Chains A and B, each alone.
Chain A
């Protein structure tokens, strides 16, 4: 799927040296909230999400010149953001040199630290259940459940077959349901 008319106009602005920053600012403003929430759902903490988001846009700035317009800009941005989140979580694991379950506990603690946290409410139970999933399955679940992303598009973002993504989402939903029922 090629780039949309609106994005093409923003990219044209970006490609002109005198309007480069203006074009890039417009791209940030268009996609910042969607990317922020995608990242936030994966790293939980706002400060971490802010760091990752800024890194994502710096990477986008460095690589936008080579972006081919036969793909959707949005898909490309999601791909960079997802990779950056997974790298961040991997670094967290290495830094603390602890097991995967401890990292999950760390994210759960960040969740509990939220001022609005209420362990009895279903929406928070759901967040805890999502954190119990393996990282990539968590990405798939979030993209489908919160972003309502079609499998076809998700397949381009995660470079995985639609069948594998469907299976992954189905497993994730079952695990979450189990977690909430037993939790």
Chain B
């Protein structure tokens, strides 16, 4: 194809300038072996190097020291660890499913329910006692505040500077804003002593715990 095209051009030239006698194409330039095979990869490599790596660029700005460090992790996994990992995980899943599917006899369910009722009664009594205790001994919170007041401000500032980050800032901001809202809401009593016994009994009777 190329040769025919070249011959046509030579013919055309002879017609324009008779006796010019130009050598036939192709031209005498050589191309290194495999040049065209390698060309696409060479071009892509140059494109890749031209395209900025945002992580590396950011790191160069922040810390030239870290930017020069290798990002290769020095830790390694045991040889062949990944080869049968999926098989081991699937075996673990089957085992977990078998454990979940185990049948629980009805009488043990009933016993569990009895235990749950007993535990809830104990918890209710415990909560009442605890809230009464806390109500009468407000000095406990005071002693914590007194302890906190004993910590030097500088120590608190240093701790916060080394242990908080943007996540904590967001959490603090959100808790401050919700605390501000909470201050405006009416207070709800959580003291169980204030609940009449009849109401507690009625609740227990209407719920499944009475069964």
Residues of A within 8 A of B (CB): 21, 24-25, 28-29, 32-33, 36-37, 40-41, 44, 46, 50, 53-54, 57-58, 61, 100, 114, 116-117, 121-124, 126-127, 134, 136-137, 144-146, 148, 150, 160-161, 163-165, 167-168, 170-174, 176-177, 180-181
- In the complex, whether B90 has a CB less than 8 A from a CB of chain A is yes
- A54 with B92: CB separation less than 8 A: yes
- B69 with A126: CB separation less than 8 A: yes
Checking A25, A50, A123, A136 against B167 with a beta-carbon cut-off of 8 angstroms, the contacting residue is: A136
- In the complex, whether B37 has a CB less than 8 A from a CB of chain A is no
- In the complex, whether B74 has a CB less than 8 A from a CB of chain A is yes
Chain B 56-76 interface 0/1 with A at a Cβ cutoff of 8 Å (1 = within): 000100110110011111111
- In the complex, whether B82 has a CB less than 8 A from a CB of chain A is yes
Q: Please, which residue of chain A has its CB at the minimum distance from the CB of B89?
A: A57
- A173 with B62: CB separation less than 8 A: yes
- B77 with A46: CB separation less than 8 A: yes
- B164 with A134: CB separation less than 8 A: yes
Task: Return the 10 tightest CB-CB contacts between A and B, nearest first.
Answer: A164-B166, A28-B86, A168-B166, A167-B166, A177-B63, A173-B62, A123-B74, A137-B165, A148-B55, A57-B89
Chain B 155-187 interface 0/1 with A at a Cβ cutoff of 8 Å (1 = within): 000000001111101100000000000000000
Checking B62, B65, B78, B93 against A46 with a beta-carbon cut-off of 8 angstroms, the contacting residue is: B78
Q: List 7 A-B contacts (CB under 8 A).
A: A28-B90, A36-B82, A40-B75, A123-B69, A123-B74, A134-B164, A168-B167
- In the complex, whether B85 has a CB less than 8 A from a CB of chain A is yes
- Minimum distance in angstroms from B61 CB to a CB of chain A: 10
Inter-chain contacts of A46 with B (CB < 8 A): 75, 77-78, 81
> Which one of B70, B81, B89, B96 has the highest number of Cβ atoms from chain A below 10 Å of its Cβ?
B89
- A32 with B77: CB separation less than 8 A: no
Complex Cα–Cα for A50 and B87 (A): 13
Consensus secondary structure, chain A interface: helix
Residues of B within 8 A of A (CB): 53-55, 59, 62-63, 65-66, 69-78, 81-82, 85-90, 92-93, 96, 163-167, 169-170
Given contact pairs A123-B72, A136-B167, A167-B166, A21 touches B90 in the complex (Cβ within 8 A): yes
Q: Please, which residue of chain B has its CB at the minimum distance from the CB of A28?
A: B86
Complex Cα–Cα for A57 and B63 (A): 36
- Minimum distance in angstroms from A4 CB to a CB of chain B: 20
Given contact pairs A28-B86, A173-B59, A134 touches B165 in the complex (Cβ within 8 A): yes
- Minimum distance in angstroms from A47 CB to a CB of chain B: 10
- A37 with B73: CB separation less than 8 A: yes
- A58 with B89: CB separation less than 8 A: yes
Inter-chain contacts of A58 with B (CB < 8 A): 89, 92-93, 96
Checking A25, A29, A134, A163 against B163 with a beta-carbon cut-off of 8 angstroms, the contacting residue is: A134
Checking B76, B77, B86, B164 against A25 with a beta-carbon cut-off of 8 angstroms, the contacting residue is: B86
Given contact pairs A32-B86, A37-B73, A146-B71, A165 touches B62 in the complex (Cβ within 8 A): no
